[in-house]
Amino acid sequence: MSDPASVLQALKPLVESLEHAKVVYYMHVAATCIFIYDHLTTLADEVEIIWPAPWHAGKIFFLIERYLTWPELLLTIYMELADLNSHVCHNIFAYIAWSIALALVVTELILILRTWALWGGRRAVLISLGVLLFVVAIVDGVIVADYIKNTVFIRASAISPTLKGCAIKSSTRRIAIGWILVTVFELVIVILTVIKGVEHFRTGHAQSSLIRSLYRDGIIYFVYLFVLSLGNLLCIYIAPSEYVVLFGVTQRAFNAILSCKIILHLQAAARITAATLTGNDLVSTMPEFSGTSAGGQKRVTFQDMPKARGPIHTYTSEWFGGTSAV
């Protein structure tokens, strides 16, 4: 007969693994609840601003960020609650991983357009950031494919009939490289934002509510995401293997929340700026959705803006629903 102490010692790694999996589950539930709460509290703004807008990049990016997140979060919870075989677990995991990778590219595109606007529509800024994002996306794609290939699931009920969901048997920590690249790219965005911000504050252009919104959203966005990225990397490299996926879904949820808020805040700031715009203000950083609101009132577009002194560059209008005058 086996020694009870020996049996308990042998079961200790399994018990610890199940405890770690429970922490991951709670983290994913929390991220899902935060995302649902944010969606409900901003749904009225979405219906008023986004839905009536024409199908240009601003609207498309917003909807991808907003609605691609739902299946990711719900499938993540489903994986942890349903009794699934290892093959189904791996297929769902692969979908979630690729979906997150795609959504992160869209997030960075939104940041590129915002930074491009701050830099006065300079082609060099757009091309440089576009090329950098392309390289990051390709490398991340290779890393995600490797991550999916090397992540092995087992049916949790195979461990104990009382358990449900998918249990990770083994994975790779190389996914951290992908998150590092994303963090570095966003650091470049912040550096460009700070450089232009110093210039705008020195020249007095930062008095515009729109420009203040651009800087505020950019800095807050980076601080939140940097903290999450740091936590993600620490979990991947230091924490037990079950924690490799701990912050990934959470970071994705906050990516969606913050990038959508950037677009919504730009619309609110654009309306304020349009109402108080003077001849010396900057209108070139205003990515406004054109169209008609649900109440039948015409929205402010680039064409409706008062003329500034000097050339007006509506370089963001094609991306966000106006007509380019460039």
**Residue 237 — very low, low, confident or very high, per pLDDT cuts 50/70/90?**
confident
Find, among 302, 306, 294, the residue nearest to 319 by Cα.
302
Q: Mind listing the domains of the chain with CATH numbers?
A: 14-273 (1.20.1070)
Q: Tell me, what DSSP letter sits at residue 50?
A: I
Measured distance CA(254)–CA(118) in Å, rounded: 23
Measured distance CA(32)–CA(25) in Å, rounded: 11
Tell me the HSE value of 224 on the side-chain side, using a 13 A CA sphere. Answer: 16
pLDDT in tens, 163-178: 888 888 888 888 889 9
* Cα 222 off chain centre by: 11
Q: Any residues with CB less than 8 A from the CB of 142 and at least 6 apart, and which?
A: none
pLDDT of residue 75: 95
Give the pLDDT mean for 57-86.
92
Measured distance CA(309)–CA(326) in Å, rounded: 16
pTM of the entire predicted model: 0.78
Q: Has residue 12 got a pLDDT over 70?
A: no
Least confident piece of the model among 78-87, 183-192, 305-314:
305-314
